Structure 1
Amino acid sequence: MSTSEESAPGGVITLDGLDLAALVASRVCHDVISPVGAIVNGLEILEDEKDEGMRGFAFELIKKSAAQASARLQFCRIAFGAAGSAAAMLDLGDAEQVARGFVEDDKTKLVWEAERQLLPKNAVKLLLNLVLVATTTVPRGGEIKVTSSGQAEATEFAIVAAGPNARVPANVLELLSGRAPEDRVDAHVIQPFYAGLVARAAGMTVTIEPEIEGERIVTRAKPSV
């Protein structure tokens, strides 16, 4: 165990603030480096190619990758960033917009049925992080459906991820609860660990369990009793 990682009573890991910031930054960079790299490749093609067909391909690559990079940065700004003061309220409509830009692709469809309302910042950040966790439960793609019930601080969320070979990835439940394999947290597992931190800051309890084995996984977040 490194000096910056300690186990609190009950086995929950506490991270030094600088290490947490560094690991979250690494995760954000991981999300945007691929489309940014594709933009660079497209620019190199434009610089070297004279063939109009290849140049057209390069323009499309740059356009698509720039949109993808922008969508991922907008998502990360709310899901991982400050997004206002500690007491800020965020709009679930804005959360839907950034989630749709981040999640939807040729394999995955997002169905958003959460009622539009202003909620405490950490509740909205938690929802976005749980949507991101839900994408990992359908590795071959599928449908992710987001619903809500209740109002204000009593709001509860349900996220149903449906797709072939749906499953809860190894260690996700432990990471959400603040635990990790060998008591170590790195950039590969920081996102669900961070989601757990946000859940506790929001005063919410998260559960993830199969509804239909291999087909549908349900994630729920509700105010802690």
Structure 2
Amino acid sequence: MKPTREHITGLLLAGGRGMRMGGADKGLQMLHGEPLAAHVLKRLAPQTGALVISANRHPEAYSALGAPFGATVVADALAGFPGPLAGLLTGLHAAGTAYVLSAPCDSPWLPDDLAERLAHALDSNGADIATVTTTDAHGQTSLHPVFALLRTSLADDLSAFLEAGERKVRAWYARHRTVEVVFTDERAFYNINSLQELADLQRD
């Protein structure tokens, strides 16, 4: 059965070090008068039944951002900023639903049909994970693995993968039935990696 909104917990991944932003907390950087994380939460909330924010710094700030959406803020169980898979594991454990829809905190234009399309692909293909690819004007395909719909039943396997010292998202996905869903709007999955990129977007 295709997952519907009430079966899906939205997961905002905001636990990184922000190294390419000079160590700044990405999700709290401002774009058009609002933190990046707020833009993402506004797009995730209508597509999911609950929200979880994975954040390793500034929990009070993220709690305030998540409060209008009833979001819960949780920190990674693994110390040392071990990457997006640790945040994903945190979300899988925190979710009270059968599925988690993850998105990074620095992608303010994610599509409003992300959950719908990933859920359809996951169900149609009998998959465990549905993730995103985009194709540019030259036919080049890019994978965006941290945009994903996953079964929460994968938590134990992910925990074992991380405990073994593994960190690569694609390597973990390869262990499971994964389907890639093609989106044509590359901008929807654009992530802001530097303060200069953010400044440029402020002028748009």
TM-score by length of 1: 0.28
* TM-score, normalization by structure 2: 0.30
Higher-Rg structure is 1
